[in-house]
Structure 1
Amino acid sequence: MTRIDEANAEWSAAFRRAGHEFVMTTPKQPDQVPEIDWFVLDDPDPPFHYGPMCKKCGYCVCVDCVSPEEIEPCTAQDVAEGAGK
């Protein structure tokens, strides 16, 4: 498993609880399952910052720099749940 693959379930669950929706890759074959698309965030020098992007609000966050508790809530209009937590 790579470091990206090990972005743990707790972190991913917190991203979803904040109302975010992961950008998913499009499978190359019809029988493949889509996967979370990880982005290398704006940093040309190692160590690279990488993480998911919310497809609803565009929020990007580095999984190494931000703990699950620090994830900001989704700002998309259609998200009512989770606001004010």
Structure 2
Amino acid sequence: MPYALFCNDSQISKAYPDEADVWKLAQRSGLVVDVGTDEERHGPRRMLDNDYEIKSCPAAQGEDPAKNKADAERESRMELQLSS
């Protein structure tokens, strides 16, 4: 099942094949914050800012989560090249 970024139960991103893909999108968008550690984990714990959530969802009709992932990766590489 694909995953997407949600805010207040509204889907605000395209669907991606894996939850990890949406975490990358959220990180690039500045929506991931590090919070203090707990007793079971070492180092900071990642959380989404405010009311953002990553949830499983069906892909929209005609939407291809794998293509969305490939497009996002290509855009990310282009941004890195432009900033160099």
Which structure has more relative contact order (CA 8 Å, sep 6+)? It is 2
Give the TM-score normalised by the residue count of structure 2. 0.32
- Normalised to the residue count of structure 1, the TM-score between the two structures is 0.32
In terms of fraction of residues, the more helix-rich structure is 2
Task: State which structure, 1 or 2, has the greater radius of gyration over its C-alpha atoms.
Answer: 2
